Amino acid sequence: MITTDNTHARTGTGISGIWELTSTEGTEGLPFHNSIKETLHLDVDGETPQMVVSGTWTLHRLTLHWIAKLEPIGTNAWKGNIFYKDGDVSMFPYNFVTIEAQGLTLRNAKVVYSEGATPLRTAHFTWVNQYFYPVEFEYDTEEGITPVLAIDTHAHPNHPANLPREELSIESVYRRAGFDVKLSTGNSVVPLVGAGNDVRWSDAEMHDAMQVHWSQYSNNPKWAMWVFFASLHEEGYPLGGIMFDDIGSQHRQGTAIFNNSFISNAPENDVQPDAWVKRMKFWTACHEMGHGFNLAHAWQKSLGNPWLPLQDDAEVRSFMNYPFAVQGGVPAFFQNFEYRFSDNELLFLRHAPERFVKMGEAEWFDDHGFKHQHTMMHSTFKLTLRVNRETNRYEYLEPVCVELKLSNVSKDPQIVNKDVLANIDRMTIIVKKNGGKAKQLLPYVHYLQEIEKEVLMPGQTMYSSIFASVGNKGWLISEPGDYLIQVAIHLENEDVLSNELMIRVEPPIDRTEDFLAQDFFSNDVARTLFFDGTKSLENSNNILRTVAERLPHRKVAVHAEVALAMPLMKPFKLLGQDKIIHVTPPQIEEATQLLKPALLERSHVAANTLGHLDYHFYMDRLSESIAAHSNHPEGALAVQNKLLQTLTERKVKPVVLQEIKDKQLMYEKLGPGTSVR
């Protein structure tokens, strides 16, 4: 029999939930006690009780938050040690709390605060709500995509033997975690206008879509999340979902699920492939939305900044762990998965200070914990951080691109994740200005990707690049001075620490640069450069145009022209406020004119400031766009010829040059008037 969770109720005797202060007795150690507003989160029954109570005190503009672990001391009575305090702790001298639920309906509570064995203050509370916080979800769906918003928990035979059979919805998952979930009336199917066959989304398009969506709301933190169900990311099959950390002034308020990615393909010979796919899509949505509540991955609890010292747990059966990453893979995960969050995650969701959890407040992965790198004395790998230029001096306004090189320095083949150098979620990147505080580079967007393994032979290397100047907190490298950059990647058995890379940012050469810097070093420009362009942040585009026009011979012009040109190279999707996806056609001639001085005429300057990897990437995108949309393969061939010449002169590895030659040959075989799709 299938049961359906149609109610908003959580099970239990109804004591758990939020309580509000009604009166107090005793004032020792607490001035202004009559002015305090106080709430309790009592968590002793109902869904997965944590036997915890937390409280928030507000006195004018001062706030204090505390948490205690409880033990029963009688019927409907508990006592516990207050082990966590946050805020103005001078208001709160207590270290023990005793709670007794009273009355026939248990809707009143007597709370005694103590210092040691001495009771100092008694407070009386009344029960308000069975949930700890309210939250609103809005689901929008790309035309032609069917989102999975609920599943039959027994539809696939691989499940725990004691798992109840029910129709479980996303809303039910979060209600059981303690949230009063409501659905927005704005849920809609988003039509695609003029998209043709190109229904893949770039980071820039997704970023612009979320910018437009959240522009309809106030720039204040709110308990609300937008979930967009789309077809595919431009990276294709391996990318299942993303969460944007910073949309304007909003944090953790938007996520996208890509239904046609790897989550849509069941393993061969699976007994219930349709149920497998629905279950995977459902898990993906709950997982990505969990990031919106500031939950880290199960193996990342010890990264970030501390709120409580949490331990990593790579084997936990939680929405926040990857099913394909545990021992035994997906079958082993779902054999013991009860469609819930772990106890540590529930502790965070229900009892962390509200600003840590609420959308629009703390950045993703903030306030979760940080540990020393687990480096080995004789590492299997060597991580090199470098720049492909004559000196480590950067012009004023010039963004900093660095290259990562991972080498297998052991005598044996090593298995690594294919995206080990591209997945910033598994890295710690530190940028420190001389004389200033170290800052961690955190990305604007987080990916749910299929884990693909790769064998790295002895002496073999992998490469990737990092745009080191900006992160989700804005500019990390801007002012003149010396900066240290260092990276650690977190592998399964060890952390690999890079060398320390020192760079210098030169002062402005004239008043023009100094004047332009006031607009250039903005959060909007930072996001535009990070995402390789935008069509929604027009003010940012205007700033980049001004920089390129007034500083044409400075290296920052290369970065500005690349960001302006990239959205023009392909059909670009924009989500309008009319909830219709409008597709603008590629503007190849305009893009080519923008990039001709930047990438072709000053090719060595471009390779110097972008780095060899990114220069290669942008030249490939330009040639592919010309070949696909302009019917002039000879133009694409000219781009590849220039790329080969430049990287040959810069003594790039022969294997890279051969890749360029192979692409040259492909374009040579195309006749005039043909295109590559």
Q: Are residues 448 and 239 in contact, defined by beta-carbon separation less than 8 angstroms? A: yes
pTM over 0.95: no
Per-block mean pLDDT, blocks of 10 residues, the chain (677 long): 47 79 71 74 93 89 89 94 86 90 92 86 93 92 91 96 95 96 82 65 79 62 85 83 64 82 90 95 92 69 50 79 85 95 92 84 46 47 91 95 93 88 84 84 79 89 94 90 90 80 94 95 93 90 96 96 93 81 88 92 95 95 88 86 95 93 87 57
CB neighbour class for 609 (10 Å; exposed up to 12, middle 13-18, buried from 19) = buried
Q: How many other CB atoms are found less than 10 A from the CB of residue 402?
A: 22
Residue 428 confidence (pLDDT)? 85
Which is it for the CA torsion 578, 582, 587, 593, positive or negative? positive
Domains of the chain, each with CATH number or no CATH: 10-129 (2.40.128.20), 133-348 (3.40.390), 372-507 (2.60.40.2970)
Give the Å distances, CA to CA, from 558 to 305, 471, 535, 592, 620: 35, 20, 19, 13, 16
Residue 294 confidence (pLDDT)? 82
Angle between helix 538-550 and 511-520 (nearest 10): 160
Residue 473 confidence (pLDDT)? 80
Candidates 641, 464, 109; CA nearest to 649 is 641
Q: What whole-number distance in Å separates Cα of residue 522 and Cα of residue 524? A: 5
Residue 326 confidence (pLDDT)? 82
Buried b (16+ CB within 10 A) or exposed e, 129-153: ebbbbebbbbbbbbeebebbbbbeb
Q: Half-sphere exposure of 121 toward its Cβ, with a 13 Å CA cutoff?
A: 22
Q: What whole-number distance in Å separates Cα of residue 582 and Cα of residue 380? A: 50
Amino acid at site 347 = L
Candidates 483, 477, 485; CA nearest to 398 is 477
Category of 642 on φ-ψ map: left (φ > 0), alpha (ψ -120 to 50) or beta: alpha
Give first-to-last CA distance, the chain, whole Å: 50
Query: 411: helix, coil or strand?
Result: coil
**Token couple for 591:** 């893009």
